Structure 1
């Protein structure tokens, strides 16, 4: 399947197909006639898929950089290593960066590509479910600061996204569940039919035969939203459902306890529960979300008092001049941006 993100001169194709990874070079050659490529990956992904991708790129001069896996890698401390590797490889603005990995590598390599020589061409090859359905599409790249997640970043669109659902077969169960947090998000904010499809299965294994089409549906929702709001000033904010709490939970535990998808799961349920109590979301939505989270092995609580999280919420990117845009649901499949401030979370109790 091929989708196109239509953004004028920043437009790019997204290819979604089982078994596409060994043919990466064929797809890259459709738009890239240069000679040099640097492939950036991590020490979990590269041993599994690095050679497969490199074997498809034999017509190019290829360089590699393998970084430690995990969220702590997505920091400023990693950038000098990447820039040094790019300098050693003599990467120029006419060359290409490939990000092969999950959301951390996609964001980090993407930010390095956006800033090195003021911009080097980028291809995203996401290897986690979360990256395939969400972070590889839309052109957001970033690194974390100690004070919060993704606080330094850029909008930098790839030239292509290549998605092979087969690579998910090697993912540990926890990281499949992690990606399902973002899949459920798309059903919540934009597609009640997708939400109900997920409800009609009893586990990820039961869902697998439909996985490629579900990934494609999530990507298509994001494509449409990004086309309408490239720079995250309007409708694109809806993609942050659950994230205001999620980022603070991740930060509170120094990115060492809840994964991103797990934190998003908690955020979606807890914020919907608060909104129901305020009459801002239809009664019963939070229970529906909770049941679906349990089906796919995701948490709905982090057992922290809200007071432990509000300090980080004040630093969230969506908190501007003490005005906080919180994404809520009218009902499943129908979301909206609710302007408020951090008092929205007053008396919320234990998250």
Structure 2
């Protein structure tokens, strides 16, 4: 079992990584909770809920299953989960378990942060993408104007990461989570980046994924500990997210996965970085790898204006000016403000370049 500790001014916690660790969850509960509410989705629930019920036998446990997908991360689902918590009689000594991927983790974490002004919760991620979203205590729901605009900083008491759950992930979810690993490598580890893009995702082993995830979590943990509430370097973790979030919002949440959108955003960040700083980044290496692994990469030219407007809603922005995380080199991120017209020009050129290269 791998243990990574996160120091937090709000609440420190451990990340435990091991195969089959979900079956031992009762051993890691710090308190004798009055009741437990497991929040999961329609895909994950049928695979793993029973394991958690067996592991928590003898405790008062309730289960609520939401529809799988990004479209569930909204105010209506949030409200219905609050109603479920009230109807089940949860109190301030109760526990919520977020069992699933990033959507479930963000949503259930926000429910825990706001129910009776905050109760304990455990992140039990079942996807590769959730290695990123389950660490750092950012919980949120989406708004039609933008992704994750309603939320809070509220750390879990524990992250329980069972690598056995990788074995049931569809290829699309592997692509999604892997993009966040690439992001973390671009921020701080050139050797990890080279290792990540040396793999073909339809052949990658569970062991390789586990090793990469431990490295990715360690990178994020270091950044989060230094800047818990995203006032400084934690903003670097949004590399690729300015365009990525705008794409998710424009296309409709769930049309492409979060990681697929971020992959396009990473390419765009590299493209803009090369133009702004006159540097040579591994744009072609990343592009070729994304193409080989069947990431969706095309953006319609007609979307450019809408995407620019949506990028202005990004949480990093100040006074309605677009701020992007760019790279002077791998391991040299910088937060950079760019005038709207310049971003519009870059995006138009990028869209046309990708269209040519995809053909």
Note whether the superposition's TM-score is higher than 0.5: yes
1:93 maps to 2:126: no
The alpha-carbon deviation at position 8 of structure 1 amounts to 4.2
1:11 maps to 2:33: no
Once residues 255 and 9 of structure 1 are traced to their aligned partners in structure 2, the CA distance between those partners, rounded to angstroms, is 31
2:304 aligns with one of 306, 312, 325: 306
Matches within 5 A, 1:1-351: 1-8=2-9, 10-28=11-29, 31-131=30-130, 133-279=131-277, 282-304=279-301, 305-348=303-346, 349=348, 351=351
Once residues 114 and 309 of structure 1 are traced to their aligned partners in structure 2, the CA distance between those partners, rounded to angstroms, is 31
Asked whether the equivalents of residues 198 and 207 of structure 1 are also in contact (C-alpha less than 8 Å), the reply is: no
Q: Residues 133-154 of structure 1, C-alpha deviation per residue, up to 9 Å, x if partnerless?
A: 2000000000111111111000
Once residues 272 and 8 of structure 2 are traced to their aligned partners in structure 1, the CA distance between those partners, rounded to angstroms, is 36
The alpha-carbon deviation at position 198 of structure 1 amounts to 1.3
Asked whether the equivalents of residues 39 and 65 of structure 1 are also in contact (C-alpha less than 8 Å), the reply is: yes
Question: CA, structure 1 residues 72+199, in 2 after alignment: closer, same or farther (shift >3 Å)?
Answer: closer
Question: CA, structure 1 residues 198+18, in 2 after alignment: closer, same or farther (shift >3 Å)?
Answer: same
Aligned to 2:356: none
Once residues 165 and 193 of structure 1 are traced to their aligned partners in structure 2, the CA distance between those partners, rounded to angstroms, is 23
State the 4+ residue runs in structure 1 displaced beyond 6 angstroms.
Answer: none
Asked whether the equivalents of residues 270 and 300 of structure 1 are also in contact (C-alpha less than 8 Å), the reply is: no
Structure 2 gap segments, 5+ residues each:
352-359
The alpha-carbon deviation at position 128 of structure 1 amounts to 1.0
RMSD of equivalent CA atoms: 1.6
Once residues 281 and 328 of structure 2 are traced to their aligned partners in structure 1, the CA distance between those partners, rounded to angstroms, is 11
Asked whether the equivalents of residues 23 and 56 of structure 1 are also in contact (C-alpha less than 8 Å), the reply is: yes
Bigger mean CA deviation after superposition, 266-275 or 106-115? 266-275
The alpha-carbon deviation at position 197 of structure 1 amounts to 1.1
The alpha-carbon deviation at position 295 of structure 1 amounts to 4.2
Q: Residues 300-346 of structure 1, C-alpha deviation per residue, up to 9 Å, x if partnerless?
A: 33234422301111112111212333111112233222233434413
Secondary structure class of the residue paired with 1:298:
coil
Secondary structure class of the residue paired with 1:283:
coil
Bigger mean CA deviation after superposition, 337-346 or 157-166? 337-346
Once residues 306 and 235 of structure 1 are traced to their aligned partners in structure 2, the CA distance between those partners, rounded to angstroms, is 29
Secondary structure class of the residue paired with 1:252:
helix
Question: CA, structure 1 residues 275+124, in 2 after alignment: closer, same or farther (shift >3 Å)?
Answer: same
Question: CA, structure 1 residues 8+346, in 2 after alignment: closer, same or farther (shift >3 Å)?
Answer: closer
Once residues 334 and 300 of structure 1 are traced to their aligned partners in structure 2, the CA distance between those partners, rounded to angstroms, is 25
Question: CA, structure 1 residues 129+33, in 2 after alignment: closer, same or farther (shift >3 Å)?
Answer: same
Question: CA, structure 1 residues 59+264, in 2 after alignment: closer, same or farther (shift >3 Å)?
Answer: same
Once residues 50 and 310 of structure 1 are traced to their aligned partners in structure 2, the CA distance between those partners, rounded to angstroms, is 41
Bigger mean CA deviation after superposition, 96-105 or 312-321? 312-321
Once residues 165 and 20 of structure 2 are traced to their aligned partners in structure 1, the CA distance between those partners, rounded to angstroms, is 8
Secondary structure class of the residue paired with 1:205:
coil
Aligned to 2:354: none
Question: CA, structure 1 residues 311+96, in 2 after alignment: closer, same or farther (shift >3 Å)?
Answer: same
TM-score by length of 2: 0.92
TM-score by length of 1: 0.94
Aligned to 2:357: none
